[in-house]
Amino acid sequence: MPATNLRIPGPIELPEHILAECSRPMISHRGSEFAEILHEITDSAKGLFGIDGDVFLLSSSGTGAMEAAVVNFFSPGDAVLVVRGGVFADRTRAMATAFGLDVDVLEVEWGDAVDPAAVARRVEAREYRGLFLTHNETSTGVMNDVEAVGGVLRGLDLLFVVDGVSSVGAIPLRMDDWRVDVAYSASQKAWTAPPGAGLLAVGSRGWKFNNDASCPRFYFDLTTMRQALKQGQCPWTPPLPVCFALRASLREMREEGLDRVFSRHHEVGEFVRRRVIESGMDLFARHEVASDTVTAIRFPPTTDAGAFMTRAREDFGTVFGGGEGELRGKIFRIGHMGWTDRSALSGAVDVAAGLLD
Ligand code: PMP
């Protein structure tokens, strides 16, 4: 069995020295040592989110952070608009519906990004309390233009919520400059840490909306989290090994410089797309909006997707991401976020092209 080339779009492969952080001895999560770690993480995270406001560390995956972004700012019956361009946007729709919000959907062809003018038309036609947009739709390999969408929301008293699970730390998000009020992400993606921590960033409009939001909540209640953060704590037991790893990876990102981190991801994204096209395979996303953290590739119509995935794994140690939801059996995905090695990416493209030949 060859060594594994884990190419799913998160949890990502971690370098040895980050993995080693996870085996540090446990510490008290109510003590000063943890307070320092937590503040270091949340302060660095502000740079990645492009926000001067507040960042919280949640003991959860990205979906927990998504739930926090719904329950803390909305009430049952609130009219919201969800831009639905893939599986994760659809999860936001399902979640908002589950909490009793009055959800309208702006459908976007899967594989394409939302047209900001279409958002403008919808928010003019009905008064919404919130707009949900997935920055990087991991299921289709598409990046949405958050800045342009934020631009059409200026002047509206509406909460702009962005799913940054597979973008933040790899693709620029400038919440304060782009009129984004709430955004969230997760440790197992570009943050280069294991799964287990959600990150939630809240700007000033978020706090205003929080005042009269009545969705039921407890574990993810922002008031409890804010109180705890003042003491350098999380309200509930934090995922300590993930925090150790996050602190280390964020230090490295600061040393590298965020601009360089972002340009490196763009270069790697271009590299993978070029290799895929040169190898005769079909990108699923429209090239102009293709993601710099994950590339989705269309299977030829006759391919047995299950057999492809099994052979890639068993014969070549290469683990691709499959298609999810409606895209199951139609596409596969190659993740390239965080710490990436071009030869491993190139190798994965070669394995795929060989199997599809
Ligand atoms: N949103 C996006 C864009 C994602 O990529 C994911 C995970 N792939 C999620 C939400 C859900 O995150 P998690 O699996 O960590 O709950």
Can you give the pLDDT at residue 18?
98
**pLDDT, tens digit, for every residue of 185-199?**
999 999 999 999 999
Q: If you take atom 4 of ligand 1, which residue's CA is the nearest one?
A: 165
Expressed in angstroms and rounded, the spacing between residue 165 Cα and the centre of ligand 1 is 6
pLDDT at 257 over 80: yes
Q: Which of 138, 327, 336 to mutate to test the pocket of ligand 1 (most atoms within 8 A of CB)?
A: 138
Can you give the pLDDT at residue 339?
87
**pLDDT, tens digit, for every residue of 199-238?**
999 999 999 999 999 999 999 999 999 999 999 999 999 9
Cα 170 from chain centroid (whole Å): 10
* 163 in contact with ligand 1, CB cutoff 6 A: yes
CA distance 101 to 29: 35
* 285 in contact with ligand 1, CB cutoff 6 A: no
pLDDT at 1 over 70: no
Q: What is the mean pLDDT of the chain?
A: 97
Amino acid letter, 3: A
* 165 in contact with ligand 1, CB cutoff 6 A: yes
pLDDT at 134 over 90: yes
* 166 in contact with ligand 1, CB cutoff 6 A: yes
pLDDT at 256 over 90: yes
Expressed in angstroms and rounded, the spacing between residue 125 Cα and the centre of ligand 1 is 30
* 60 in contact with ligand 1, CB cutoff 6 A: no
**pLDDT, tens digit, for every residue of 324-345?**
999 999 999 999 999 899 999 9
Confidence of residue 3 (pLDDT cuts 50, 70, 90): confident
pLDDT at 285 over 60: yes
pTM given for the model: 0.98
Q: Which of 7, 58, 63, 184 to mutate to test the pocket of ligand 1 (most atoms within 8 A of CB)?
A: 63
Dihedral of CA 130/136/142/145: which sign?
positive
Over range 254-277, report the average pLDDT: 98
Expressed in angstroms and rounded, the spacing between residue 32 Cα and the centre of ligand 1 is 31
Can you give the pLDDT at residue 2?
62
Spatial contact of 342 and 271, defined as CB atoms under 8 Å apart: yes
* 193 in contact with ligand 1, CB cutoff 6 A: no
68 sits in the region (left: phi over 0; alpha: psi -120 to 50; else beta) called alpha
* 138 in contact with ligand 1, CB cutoff 6 A: yes
